[in-house]
Chains A and B, each alone.
Chain A
């Protein structure tokens, strides 16, 4: 992967380790995010394969109960916070400035800080495996199972501290992205000319900005419960375990849209370009995305239908959840409308995008099914829900991200990924994914609860569990094909050119990979599909002036120092207060140096 990292920015003079540690270039930061996210994705995949291996046969003995609980908990945390979100953040970093026509994000050093804090959080969370056991209470950490009384190992404290650190990183990144999108657009790039991908990122940024603080409060309260003996969530001393569920899902449901909206954006970029026609219903797709974001804050309690909410909240949250199916449906129809009448070039990126439509639709359908509380009485905490979330998050989010890999890798590295391997990659993942996750619908219908480390023969669950496990191996092979493809591609000479796909958005007018300053001349945008407009109207690119001195912000090591301070504070929160103090001093030093550092 190191070669991939290098190649994604190969035009830059300085490629030493120090230049990476002090970089403030959004493209380098995006590349590190993408590669780190992909490595964590492999780790989460390994955990998933172990979980599937344990469940392949009744009374499996591959993992013991505790290890199983750690693996399924860490699988979810890794995939959500360390895999899908950072791979998304990688694309955001790389392409927001390119798409809106800017030289960098609004706050380049803050961007570097987000990256280093994310990496600190990811390593911290995973270090728990070697320091007394990983979190084992589920990614949702339901009280009172997450309390010190019932989770005595330090795993759930790692969960609290790790998520606080990762949340800080996401919050800073989201603030940066939101300001960049609103405030750094090239001349003529009105909001309704923004690429749909950028619109979805903007919605995601606001979802995180408004939901992370709520999770932060819940995590702090859980930390106080576990470490300092308060009882926010412990019922024996007046606390309320249901309060934790509300807090968690007020964050947790918007988080689902944080994971899926970027992929919806990617598909909305890939399909028009490959169909060689404009996106069908741009405004409808944008408004549907925004509507999903707004409604996403009003549906959280559908995760709690079985907790005894009472009929009135059940009806309200059931209705709002069903309502969110409407904008989702609008999006699917508009993507189909984009394909309709096209002359669709079926490259691997197209395969993944079309695969996204099919598979995400299945996840969407099952999601609307358990919007009905009586039906949810059967689905909740059964394998039906496991099938549902994986059709949304694998069939949706991951398929979209892979479409993005194939679509943008040439821009990031100057090289086109191999199409033959790409199609093999798609078909193994597509077949593997359906073999793994579709049978889980059957298992749910047959009453198999989720999060069980073992089951008896004679329940009628054997066959489909075995099929799902075999499917997960095929899926893993599919992901490895992608790794092979990347390695193979990195060994060849750059062959992509500026614009291998006939793209419509600004990034395709500049070299691949782009120079550090992105645009020799800040482009002027005249249409929603600026490059197609220029092509159709015979508008030549603005000539580059002779003395084109472009000043980019210099590298800085202060983000690294602040991140180190934050990591020390987190380590201290897990061990002893003295380290917290040390971390605070380091952070304050870093911020002070940051503030006084000249930026020109």
Chain B
């Protein structure tokens, strides 16, 4: 490589990295490690404030496990459609890729709809952001997760729109969709942890 007479432009050399992993993919992995600590701190806060609420409503009085189980199922299914979108991107099946991206976006939106419904009904039942420690730590934790889902929906939508262009997603199509998939699966896995801790483990 040192003796190469014609250096390829940097955006192409990026594919020839020291480890063989694309720079963007490596950054996504390291970024997700950082995100683990972000949600770890939020979840820890939630756990620390368990049983510290001075007034109600308390979690067992208000959490609607069947409804949230349904929304959890929706998010899980979105990971499946995401896997199929990545498969489509990697195997040149663009119709499948676009359809599955659309499905993932819609499932993400349904999840956000469930969350909006949940938040509104909790507020009606008297649990606001500042009502008690449960309210604060619950809304901030699930709210930031919801924000991540929303960012994911925007991310996937931009991928879908970009793939509609004449040039599509270009030579790096599979990588772009793969990166979006990594992010989406991470957000999904975090929700499994949050769902287990808030809804499933009895206190």
* Chain A interface residues (CB < 8 Å from chain B): 103-104, 106-107, 171, 175-176, 178-179, 182-187, 189, 209-214, 216-218, 220-221, 224, 228-232, 237-240, 243, 247, 250, 521-524, 542, 545, 547-553, 588, 592, 595-596, 599-600
Contact = CB atoms under 8 A, between A and B. Distances in A.
Contacts of A214: 37-38, 40-41
B45 A230 contact: no
B9 interface: yes
A183 B54 contact: no
Interface stretch (B11-19, B63-71, B118-126, B184-192): B11-19
Given A107-B23, A171-B34, A175-B31, A185 B18 contact: yes
30 contacts: A171-B34, A175-B30, A178-B27, A179-B30, A182-B18, A182-B26, A183-B17, A183-B19, A187-B1, A187-B2, A212-B34, A214-B40, A216-B38, A218-B41, A221-B45, A229-B130, A232-B136, A232-B137, A237-B54, A238-B53, A238-B133, A240-B49, A240-B52, A243-B48, A521-B3, A523-B2, A545-B6, A547-B6, A551-B7, A595-B162
A384 B6 CA distance: 60
Interface string B23-63: 10011001101110110111001001100111000000000
Given A184-B23, A185-B18, A214-B37, A243 B10 contact: no
A106 B133 contact: no
B141 to A, nearest CB: 10
Nearest to B1: A187
Nearest 5 A/B pairs, CB to CB: A213-B38, A551-B9, A217-B41, A230-B136, A213-B37
B193 interface: no
Given A183-B17, A228-B129, A547 B54 contact: no
B132 interface: yes
B43 to A, nearest CB: 10
B27 A547 contact: no
Nearest to A232: B136
B164 to A, nearest CB: 13
Contacts of A171: 34
B182 to A, nearest CB: 14
A548 B26 CA distance: 30
Contacts of A184: 17-18, 23
Given A104-B10, A182-B26, A224-B140, A238 B49 contact: yes
Nearest to A243: B48
B192 to A, nearest CB: 19
Contacts of A548: 5, 7
A212 B21 CA distance: 25
Nearest to A100: B18
A230 B5 contact: no
Contacts of A183: 17-19, 21, 23, 26
B158 interface: yes
B48 A213 contact: no
Given A218-B41, A548-B7, A550-B7, A522 B18 contact: no
Contacts of B5: 545, 547-548
Given A107-B27, A218-B41, A232-B136, 6 more contacts: A213-B37, A224-B129, A238-B54, A238-B132, A250-B41, A600-B9
Given A183-B19, A553-B10, A210 B34 contact: yes
Contact of B19 (A104, A182, A229): A182
Contacts of B38: 213-214, 216-217
Contact of B52 (A228, A230, A238): A238
Given A107-B27, A185-B18, A596-B162, A231 B130 contact: yes
Contact of B140 (A179, A230, A238): A230
A213 B23 contact: no
Residue of A238, A545, A550 with most partner-chain B CB within 10 A:
A238
Nearest to A550: B7
B11 A600 contact: yes
Nearest to B136: A230
Contacts of A229: 129-130
B11 A599 contact: yes
Interface in B116-166: 129-130, 132-133, 136-137, 140, 144, 154, 158, 162
Contacts, number: 131
Nearest to B6: A549
Contacts of A524: 2
Nearest to A521: B2
A230 B129 contact: yes
Nearest to A104: B10
Nearest to B141: A217
B84 to A, nearest CB: 23
A239 B133 contact: yes
Residue of A183, A186, A228, A548 with most partner-chain B CB within 10 A:
A183
A266 B62 CA distance: 57
Contacts of A210: 33-34, 37
A576 B65 CA distance: 36
B96 to A, nearest CB: 23
Given A230-B140, A238-B133, A106 B162 contact: no
Contact of B7 (A107, A178, A224, A549): A549
Nearest to B19: A183
Contacts of A523: 2
Residue of B2, B8, B140 with most partner-chain A CB within 10 A:
B2
B158 A592 contact: yes
Contacts of B133: 231, 238-239
Contacts of A104: 10
Nearest to A205: B30
A266 to B, nearest CB: 24
A231 to B, nearest CB: 7
A36 B38 CA distance: 29
Contacts of B34: 171, 175, 209-210, 212-213
B30 A106 contact: no
B140 A175 contact: no
A521 B1 CA distance: 9
Contacts of A107: 23, 27
Residue of A211, A217, A231, A521 with most partner-chain B CB within 10 A:
A217
Contacts of A228: 129-130
Contacts of B140: 220-221, 224, 230
Nearest to B43: A217
A217 B45 contact: yes
Contact of B42 (A182, A217, A547, A553): A217
A186 B26 CA distance: 18
Interface string B85-98: 00000000000000
A220 B38 CA distance: 11
Nearest to B9: A551
A245 B137 CA distance: 17
Nearest to A212: B34
A600 B11 CA distance: 7
